[in-house]
Each structure stands twice: as C-alpha cells, then as structure tokens.
Structure 1
C-alpha cells in the first residue's frame, strides 16, 4: 500500500534576520525601524513524501504510484519552465532525473539569474541556511523545489510565495484508491519524527494535524 503525505506550512516569514550590531549609525537604526513596521512577506512550504508500507520503504519514488505523482505534480507547473544547474526542462520527471540529491530546481516563467550551486544543500543540511538566496528567488514569483534525501530514495521540498495548496490537492486527489492513501498534514502540528512517520504505528488513527483525503473530500 502506498501512503502518500503532503505536508504544508503557510505564512512562513521570508525576510532574512536583521543585522545584529550594537554600533549602528542613526541612519541604520532608522532604516531598521522602518523595516520593522512593514508587513513581513511570507511564503508557503510543502514537503512531498511517501511510504511503501508493506516493505517499509520511505521516499516518494519508492511508491508504486511514484511516477504518477510526479506527472501530476508536473501538470501543476505546465505553464512554467523548470531550470536546473544542468539545463532547462519542460518535464518534471526529466528535471528530477537530471538533478542530484540536494539539487535545486527553480520553476519560473522566465529564466532566473542565479548561481544554483549557492543554493545546493547536502544530506546533513536543510534549506533554512539558504534563506537570503531563496528570498530573492521567491520574491520574483518563481517556485523553488529541492530533491531531498529520504531513507530509501528521495522526497521533494517545494516553496512558493503563492499558496498553491489547492492546485496540489486537486492534482493528487485523483490518485486516491484502496491501495493509495493520501494524507494532508499541517507541519506545525507534527513536532517529532514519530509524528512524521505516524503511518508505521497509528495509520487508522493519525495524530492531530494529519487528515486523510478521500475521493469525496472537498476543500
């Protein structure tokens, strides 16, 4: 059985932390206060993963419907091009095949001007320390996707200033059937690794924050 999980986290603060310096000039202090009074730009973050339950295989690409998920996700971006360090792609599956673990894909209407290597992560890292670079890309209206290490394959980490959750929901819901169970999960309510892998111990009574999506579920 495929257990497919879409984690979401909205209203994440985008701006980089203010420079900490006790010797700021009056002009810098005034600028800092002005920035403080502005609304913080926010973004949405999605983590796309899954478990092949009987075999206890963890990773989006371990699922029987892994290729179908990727195709459905690619359709969400059909009006954009996927840019990577190795070139540009119209097809998400091809972009993923050309991207190593830790690599980044920028999904945009026009080619971005960035150094992909400055945004790369490694297996021991995460996207948090890339905040300043990510901020500039997201503010341009592009989406950013990372191919992240899973126990037995890879997962996908997707960021966007636009809340594209409805589009993702609509893309994945048609895959639901007896052997494919889809859970929509509020990341803010899943605070531990045990919760992250809830399907291994409490599948039919998921913790608060994890809602199963059925064929008749509506937003």
Structure 2
C-alpha cells in the first residue's frame, strides 16, 4: 500500500496590535482672574475664531473691573485613539469620573438644564451627567444646597457676560462645571473657588486606567490649536516639552 503524505501550509496567526493609548488632557490656570474684557476667556483653543469682544457701547461695571478675587480654572479634554474620536466623554468613564469626584469632594450637586430648570442631583445622576451632559447647561457642586437663582444666573449666557454671576455663585459653590461641545461628545470646563490642580492630579495618579495616558499642562502654554492637540504629533517625542506633565 502506498502511503500518501499530505503537506499542509504552515498555519498563519493574525497579528493583532494593541490599540494606541487614549489621551486625557487637563489644562489648568491657577489662579485665573475672571476678567470680562479679555478676548481670550474661552479655555478651548479650538473655538478661538468664534470669540468676539464685548459689543460696542457695552459698559462693564467698575466693581467687576476692580474685582481681583482669584478663581481656579480647568479644562478636561480627551482623545479616544482606538475609536478615532475626540472629546472627554468618548473615553471610558472610569478614566475621568471617579478621579474628578474624588478631587471635588463635595456633598451636594445640582444642575441647570438647557431649558432653565434647576434641580438637585443624586450620585447616580451626577455620574450620568459627567458621562453625557446632553441637556445640562451648568453643573454645580458645594458643601450645602445652592440657591437655584444663583445657578440659573450663569446658565444660557455667553461666559464673559455672566462672570459677575459666576463670581457670586463661587461664593457658595465649590466648583462650577460647563459642558463644552467637542468633535465627538463633550469636554468639561470648570471654575473652582479653591485650587484644584494638585487634588485632581493626585486623584488621577491614584486611579490609573488601562490604555489611557493622562497629562496635565498649564493653559497659558497651550493656547494654540497645535498645542491643544499635542497628542497628534508630540507623543512620539522624547522627552515631551517640559510644560507637559504625564500623570
């Protein structure tokens, strides 16, 4: 009997490369003077062309011009490189929601919706808003309930035209958050009555997220579009510019 040997080609295994890490970016300005006459009040460099000065004939109250109380400003943005999506809320919720809640550490939360309704939020609702603020105009956290009229006063108005109301709100609120439309989803900007940078960086370091890199950098060093999106061209540099801190 003749033996027939069958030869099979070697088995090929598909090579699956790991997705590129997503990127969380925390821009901070501490302290930040709330000044209504500046043309660069918006922390998001992507929309600089949309900024305009106050209309001709608009007067700024003298008390506002002389008010030099410090505020602390932050902006959280993200890029989901695996899904090719841009916006903080395109990242896994665990990458930013638990660290943000830990850094804030306030007991009470409330929001004003896009239709002007002010309501108190429980923990589950807060987490939901942070993941997807589709109907949120402003999100507020404090040690105790904040009067609804103070929250409503900063909602639905151009930011620079509501700075007096924002100062008043920060007298009683811990942090005031604003959802910022991104290319895919939302970013979050915020103003705090007390420094946030060290608390938020520490909270991020204590809660690493798989396949997400986190960076903190001063807003004043990243005001151009290319620097706002530094992850598209600088992550391969070694070392990164000294003002970009990986946390």
Q: Verify same fold: TM over 0.5.
A: yes
Q: For 1:1-219, list aligned pairs within 5 A.
A: 1-14=21-34, 40-63=68-91, 65-85=92-112, 86-91=118-123, 92-96=126-130, 99-100=133-134, 103-115=137-149, 116-121=151-156, 127-176=159-208, 179-205=211-237, 206-213=240-247
TM-aligned CA deviation for residue 68 of structure 1: 4.0
C-alpha separation in 1, matches of 2:90 and 2:131: 15
Deviations along 1:44-84, one digit per CA (max 9) or x if unpaired, are 10101111124331111111x33442122123334421111
CA contact (8 A) 2:104 2:175 kept: no
Q: Which moved more, 1:54-63 or 1:182-191?
A: 54-63
Structure 2 residue matching 1:152: 3-state secondary structure:
coil
* 1:172 positional shift: 1.0
Report the structure number with the largest CA radius of gyration: 2
Does the CA-based 8 Å contact 1:88-1:95 persist in structure 2? no
Contact 1:143/1:158, CA 8 A, preserved across alignment: yes
Corresponding residue SS for 1:93: helix
| TM-score after normalising by structure 2 | 0.68
RMSD: 2.9
Alignment coverage as a number of residue pairs: 194
Q: Normalising by structure 1, report the TM-score.
A: 0.75
1:131-162: CA deviations, max 9, x gaps?
11101011235310111111101111111120
Structure 1 residue runs of 5 or longer lacking an equivalent are 22-30, 214-219
